[in-house]
Amino acid sequence: MQARERIAKAMHMFQEAYRCQMEGDLEEAARLYRESIQCCPTAEAHTFLGWTFSFEGRYDEAIEECKKAIALDPDFGNPYNDIGAYLINQGKLDEAIPWLEKAMRAERYEAPHYPHCNLARVYMAKGMLKKALEEFENALAIEPGYTFARQAIEAIQQQLQ
């Protein structure tokens, strides 16, 4: 199989995997992401395979996939943010912070407001409401229509009164 054909097959498998994941068929999604990776390893496929694992609470495996993604493309922001989010879910708040900060500096990231919201989650969990508020405001400055950040800001402002 030529390179162009491998890439096309990998993209098709990735798209099918994503569809399965969104439909809740995590086992098939994981299988298809792995098949995509076998055809043509990409940071996206590893990141999304990790995301699939996270749906099942398999955070250590999810983190490993994100680290593979970073090794393939260190400029891709998603896996840095995802590692931070998985660490938050494991209660490892301080470990999450440097990953979220790396996500904020990533050159290629389609949702750069997410690491700000995740960092705000860390600060909220630590009782640092003013810092959390600042991060949610940063997220809203990047993505003005992000309802979650707007609602979080309102909730924090009420708590601070």
Question: Which domain does 152 fall in, by range?
Answer: 111-161
pTM: 0.93
Q: How many domains does the chain have?
A: 2
Pair (67, 120) in one structural domain: no
What pLDDT is recorded for position 2? 87
Residue 142, domain member (yes or no): yes
Q: CATH no. for residue 15?
A: 1.25.40.10
Across 1-132, the runs of DSSP E, i.e. the strands, are: none
User: For residue 106, is it left (φ>0), alpha (ψ between -120 and 50) or beta?
Assistant: beta
Q: Please, which residues have CB within 8 angstroms of residue 64's CB and are 6 or more apart in sequence?
A: 50
Residues in CB range of 63: below 8 A, 6 or more apart = 50, 83, 86, 87
pLDDT in tens, 80-138: 999 999 999 999 999 999 999 999 999 999 899 999 999 999 999 999 999 999 999 99
Spatial distance between the Cα atoms of 11 and 154, rounded to a whole number of angstroms = 41
Q: Which two tokens stand for residue 82?
A: 């995802």
